[in-house]
Amino acid sequence: MALQGSLSELSLPDVIQLVSVSRKTGAFHLVNGVDQGKIFLKDGQITDANIGNLRGEQAVYEMAIWSTGEFSFIAGETSTDVTVQSSNANLMMEAARRLDEWRVLSRRIPSLDLVPFFSAREGQDQVTLSPQEWILVTHVDGQRSIEQVATILRWSAFDVSKLLFGMITSGLVALRKPEEGQDDGGFQVGLSPITLLGLAEKVRTVAIDVVGPGGEKTIEKHYAGACTSIELGRDLGAIREMVAQNSKAISLLKGAEVAAMFDEQVRPLLGGIDEGSS
């Protein structure tokens, strides 16, 4: 079967449906700019998919939201891996739902090439973010595009955009075009002081929960020191130092095993700060 065309004229779910009903075996090759992916079918059923770091169903969903790009189907091309367990019907239902949601997200995020940065916020209101959002903000540096952030995190661009949508709506994050200079636009690079203070509060909460009665004063001292450093203009170093101080204090008070437990619990909050700042 020779099948090729443009995703702007025929959506991926519709294209897959055409091949599925005829129970064909082969692979879809999809290209959207620099992004290239494959979706494998056996007897009309999707069995494997990949694009970048994504495999399986997440890869299918990532490509299903493309509104532009080209596709071609090569009959007989197979994959030995089975990374998709859901039926085509369930996959396409979820893909259609995400496509509808993407249309809403795209009103504020029209392109994955845009660069997220922290915008100035009025007041000093508390920032409340989920663990996933904390991981995401540690990779927002005013230089990486949405797509680059997704690649580093090994998340789908859809999931990153969904998290960013809420931050953009609240005014915590804004977007700029890649060609817009940071100096000219006055964009804030790295984590904002409000975000850093919120992250310090999260680390403080974990430390107090781990150390228990008798160690709160030491933890509060380290928290206050970190807050002062952040308010004076220090960046991620204040958070790293606070974590190191808490770990050392917990080791002295409760032992190395409890300190290791603290390190393990706080690692998701830091979410790759060291990698993101290298």
Spell out the residues 6+ positions from residue 78 whose beta carbon is closer than 8 angstroms to its own. 25, 26, 27, 40, 42
Beta-bridge mates of residue 38: 29, 50
Q: How far is CA 82 from its chain centroid?
A: 25
d(C-alpha 109, C-alpha 89), whole Å: 28
Q: Using alpha carbons only, how large is the chain's radius of gyration in Å? A: 23
Q: Are strands 70-75 and 35-42 parallel, antiparallel or unpaired?
A: unpaired
CATH 1.10.10 for domain 115-185: yes
DSSP helix/strand/coil, 11: coil
d(C-alpha 116, C-alpha 276), whole Å: 14
d(C-alpha 8, C-alpha 69), whole Å: 7
d(C-alpha 245, C-alpha 211), whole Å: 13
d(C-alpha 229, C-alpha 260), whole Å: 25
Per-residue pLDDT 10s for the chain (278 aa) are 468 889 888 888 888 888 888 888 999 999 988 889 999 999 999 999 999 889 999 999 989 888 889 999 999 999 999 999 999 989 988 888 888 888 889 888 988 889 998 775 554 455 667 878 888 887 887 888 998 999 888 888 899 999 999 888 887 888 988 876 554 444 445 566 767 777 888 888 888 888 887 788 899 889 888 888 887 777 778 888 999 999 999 998 888 999 998 888 887 766 544 444 44
d(C-alpha 231, C-alpha 222), whole Å: 14
Q: What is the pTM of this model?
A: 0.61
Residue 52 confidence (pLDDT): 87
- Residue 209, exposed/middle/buried by CB under 10 A (0-12, 13-18, 19+)? exposed
Q: Are strands 26-32 and 35-42 parallel, antiparallel or unpaired?
A: antiparallel
Residue 55 confidence (pLDDT): 93
Specify the length of the chain in residues: 278
Residue 228 confidence (pLDDT): 86
Residue 170 confidence (pLDDT): 80
Spell out the residues 6+ positions from residue 61 whose beta carbon is closer than 8 angstroms to its own. 91, 94, 95, 98, 156, 158
d(C-alpha 12, C-alpha 28), whole Å: 10
d(C-alpha 195, C-alpha 203), whole Å: 12
Cα torsion angle, 105, 17, 89, 47, sign: negative
Using alpha carbons only, what angle is made at residue 84 by residues 82 and 89, rounded to the nearest 5 degrees?
140
Domain extents in the chain: 2-105, 115-185, 193-276
Spell out the residues 6+ positions from residue 237 whose beta carbon is closer than 8 angstroms to its own. 229
DSSP character at residue 143 = S
Residue 126 confidence (pLDDT): 57
d(C-alpha 266, C-alpha 256), whole Å: 15
Residue 240 confidence (pLDDT): 85
Q: Which amino acid is at 160?
A: V
Rounded (10°) CA dihedral 7, 8, 14, 16: 0
